[in-house]
Amino acid sequence: MSDFSLSVTTAGAVVTATLGGEVDLAEADRLWAELSPLLTPGSTMLVDCSAVVFLDSAGLRSLLRLADQAEVRGAQFRLAAVSAAVRRVLEVAGVDRVFTGPEDGASAGTAL
């Protein structure tokens, strides 16, 4: 019932996942199920959340699981763009520092 969209484009080893609408407890499992298989060794996944109008802790938990899975598999995982709603949840959950990329000074091996 909630408005949720997920599209994936691939360019070489870079997978861009574009999320839109409401990423909530009803959609969080689907987010994980669709994106985790794409975290292959050496790949980079960029998640564009600029069109996400709602994200809750369940949706965030899926993103965190994906970040962890990326690290386990030797893939890179990064939030490429965030909306105000996403930024707020990251801030309130205290994880806004987790999703930083190599350009922010985090080591290449743990870029999320």
Partner 1 sequence: MAPDTGLTSANGTPVHEIAAVSLRVPADRDYVVLVRSAAGHLGAQLGYSVPEILDLRLAVDEACGIFLAALDPQPRSSAEAGRSDLECRFSISDNGLRFRVSGSATGVMEPDTAGLGWQVLSALVDAISWGNDGTTASMALEKRHAPGGPRWPT
Q: Which residues bind partner 1 (CB under 8 A)?
A: 1-2, 22, 24-26, 54, 56-58, 60-61, 84-85, 88-89, 92-94
Is residue 97 within 8 A of residue 87, CB to CB? The reply is no
Strands 44-55 and 76-82: parallel
Is residue 96 within 8 A of residue 79, CB to CB? The reply is no
CB of residue 108 vs partner 1: minimum separation in angstroms? 27
Token digits of residue 106: 């985090």
109 vs 112: CA distance, rounded Å: 9
CB of residue 93 vs partner 1: minimum separation in angstroms? 5
93 vs 95: CA distance, rounded Å: 6
Looking at the Cβ atoms of 34 and 91, the one nearer to partner 1 is 91
Half-sphere exposure of 25 (CA within 13 A, CB side): 1
Looking at the Cβ atoms of 29 and 104, the one nearer to partner 1 is 29
CB of residue 101 vs partner 1: minimum separation in angstroms? 22
Looking at the Cβ atoms of 61 and 73, the one nearer to partner 1 is 61
CB of residue 26 vs partner 1: minimum separation in angstroms? 4
